[in-house]
Amino acid sequence: MPSVQMAAPSILAYAIIPLLASVDFARAHEHADELAADEANKPTDTILWIHICLQVAVWGVLFPIGMVLGITRSRWHVPLQSVGFVLTAGGYILGHSHGGRMFLPSAHGAFASVLFAPMAAMLVLGVYLKLHIHEHSIRPWAVRLHGLIGKAFPVFGWTQMLFGAIAYRGYCREDNLGQCLAHYIMGSGFIAYAVIMAIMLLVGEAWVRRSGRSPEWWDSWVIMLWGIVNTFTEHRGNTWSVKDMQHTILGILWWAGGVLGIFLARNNKRNVVPSIILILTGWAMSEHAQSLMLSTKVHAMFGTTLMLAGLARMIEVCVFSSTSTGSAVEVVEDDSNSDHTLAEPSPRYPAAPRYAPSPDTSIDSGKAAAAKAFRHLPAFLLVASGVIFMSATDEELQFVHNNEMDHVTYILIMFSIAFLLYALIVLIINLYATTGRNASVKEDRNIDRNSIAMTPRSKWYFRVPNADRSPLHVVGEDDEED
């Protein structure tokens, strides 16, 4: 599956930043335990605002883009990552220069120290890879390890930004920790699901075909495993509350439905079980008992959005999946064994359907265009449901209630954030498909690969050949990442 992550680092940037980036402004000050509870209500000075905005821009936008350029081996990867690390250093300095509000010890500060390990590892690996030594022994393994750590950086960045938002308001302490974990982990899970779905539907169909599994096979496994975890973690203590029972039965619903989805997805078939689970989960959450009317309305909107995501996914499977391969075709023989799977026929599944061109290609073209447009809907709705759910903790909604903001305004703010987040996701996926090695025109499969060099699609990119490569070397899928 295409990934939107990190490749080669800048030696200069990695030599300067790792130690600085391992510490953050929200770490405990010497007497943080003595800070009054009203610190969260003190004003935020300009320096701290600049720090927050700068770090969000770097970790939320600049680094993910740089990581994509690394995966596609673009020339712009190293300069962009270098700028990002320099700005991170600036953000660190600003974070320790602010006045006014102080912060209690938090996961944000502790996780900043944990981040030192992957940052240091990337420094060592980056310097080693730039030396181009041990080409046929150690270096291939260093490339893989470098890529593995780099691919975890978006998760690190997302987690640290969440910890930062929590530390800023002083949330998720004492009795509020459990519901915070539930909202932030599940909300992040919906957004991650949306990212994976967008990748599969927009640029990952070839991976789906190679895997020999329909998308619902993967969905159902994740749903089943997540349901097993939730079944045994949602209840604490000896007394069963209404919420405990609802959350636990949702866990049972997920693993039971996941088992059915896996069974129906055998032989590379598609099914609607994951969609049904989304719809039932959304309905349950829309009926979730809440203490505030504001919270009730926000949870209802979350549930409605999740139900719409499930419905959109069901329509994508049942109506548009036959055109998702980009072929304007119609089935001319019995299609009972394929269920319009995204995956192409293979020797493992000899009962695949046979197709013939439709007599009305304009109708087929219109349906293909509709499929390309519609496939954004389930992914976006999952992003929106994740954002709304993450914003629906008791402390957040109590703060909104105290400031006399109505649910309509609050929900529209969350949808605005969802639009921006999905725009970033689509931008990053598009960069993967159009930059670096993917910007080159693919050569004719019938022409000898060693007889020609690929023509660059853009004047801004052309692969610099290594010493052991001829100028006519064609960059392939199996070339090493450096």
**Residue closest to 305 by CA, chosen among 399, 387, 235:** 387
For 239-254, write each residue's pLDDT tens digit: 777 777 888 898 999 9
User: Are 351 and 260 contained in the same domain?
Assistant: yes
**Pair 253, 186 in one domain:** yes
The predicted-structure confidence for 359-404, as pLDDT tens digits, reads as follows 555 556 677 778 788 889 999 999 999 999 999 998 999 999 999 9
Q: Give the pLDDT confidence of 144-200 residue by residue, as tens digits.
A: 888 888 788 888 889 989 998 898 888 888 888 888 888 898 899 899 999 988 988
According to the model, what pLDDT value does residue 169 have? 83
- Over 60: is that where the pLDDT of 32 sits? no
The domain boundary residue, chosen from 121, 142, 170: 170
Q: Indicate whether 46 and 67 sit together in one domain.
A: yes
Please check the confidence at residue 358 and state whether its pLDDT lies above 80: no
Query: Which region among 99-103, 299-303, 453-457 has the lowest average model confidence (pLDDT)?
Result: 453-457
How high is the pLDDT of residue 37? 52
Q: Which of 192, 200, 195, 199 shows the shortest CA–CA distance to 216? A: 200
With a cut of 70, say whether residue 124 has pLDDT above it.
Answer: yes
Q: What does pTM read for this prediction? A: 0.76
Same domain, 432 and 475: no
Residues 291 and 217 in one domain: yes
Q: Which of 322, 355, 327, 326 shows the shortest CA–CA distance to 341? A: 322
Domain termination site, one of 115, 147, 170 = 170
b/e sequence 174-203, b meaning 16+ C-beta within 10 Å: eeeeeebebbbebbbebbbbbbbbbbbbbb
Checking if the pLDDT of 305 tops 80, the result is: yes
Is the predicted pLDDT of residue 457 greater than 50, yes or no? no
Q: Quick check: 214 and 343 in contact, CB under 8 A?
A: yes
141 and 251 inside one domain = no
What b/e sequence results for 52-89 when a residue is b if at least 16 CB atoms lie within 10 Å of its CB, and e otherwise?
A: bebbeebbbebbbbbbbbbbbbbebbbebbbebbbbbb
- How confident is residue 439, by pLDDT bands cut at 50, 70 and 90? confident
Top-confidence residue, 35 or 300: 300
* Of the listed ranges 32-46, 80-94, 256-270, 454-468, the one predicted with least confidence: 454-468
- How many separate domains does the chain show? 3
CA distance 65 to 47: 26
Which structure tokens are listed for 166? 């929590």
> Cα(282)–Cα(193) distance, rounded to whole angstroms?
15
Q: Which of 125, 155, 170 is the last residue of a domain?
A: 170
pLDDT digits (tens, 9 = 90+) for 309-351: 999 999 988 888 754 443 333 333 333 333 334 444 444 334 4
Higher-confidence residue: 140 or 237? Answer: 140
Ramachandran category for residue 470: left, alpha or beta (phi over 0 → left; psi -120 to 50 → alpha): beta
% of the chain with per-residue pLDDT over 70: 71
| Separation CA 461–CA 179 (nearest Å) | 48
Q: H/E element holding 29?
A: none
pLDDT over threshold 60, residue 459: no
Give the residue with greater pLDDT, 74 vs 384.
384
Tell me what pLDDT residue 363 has. Answer: 55
Same domain for 291 and 413, yes or no, is: yes
Residues 182 and 323 in one domain: yes
427 lies in the same domain as 470: no
Task: Render the burial of 397-412: b for 16+ CB within 10 Å, e for the rest.
Answer: beebbeeeeebeebbe
pLDDT of 267 higher than 60: yes
pLDDT of residue 22: 35
Same domain, residue pair 435 and 449: no
Spatial distance between the Cα atoms of 79 and 56, rounded to a whole number of angstroms: 19
How far apart are the C-alpha atoms of 391 and 412, rounded to whole Å?
12
User: Cβ neighbours of residue 288 under 8 Å, at least 6 residues apart?
Assistant: 243, 246, 299, 303
In whole angstroms, what is the distance from residue 197 CA to residue 193 CA? Answer: 6
Asked if 372 and 402 sit in the same domain, the reply is yes
349 shares its domain with 395: yes
pLDDT of residue 167: 86
Question: DSSP labels for 407-466?
Answer: HHHHHHHHHHHHHHHHHHHHHHHHHHHHSGGGGSPPPPTTS-GGG--PPPSSTT--PPPP
Q: What tokens does 116 get?
A: 């030192």
Percent of the chain scoring above 90 in pLDDT: 26
Quote the domain boundaries for residue 40: 1-170
List beta partners, residue 102.
Answer: none
The Cα–Cα gap between 3 and 199 comes to: 8
- pLDDT interval class at 86 (50, 70, 90): confident
pLDDT at 465 over 60: no
How large is the average pLDDT for residues 189-215?
A: 86
pLDDT at 355 over 90: no
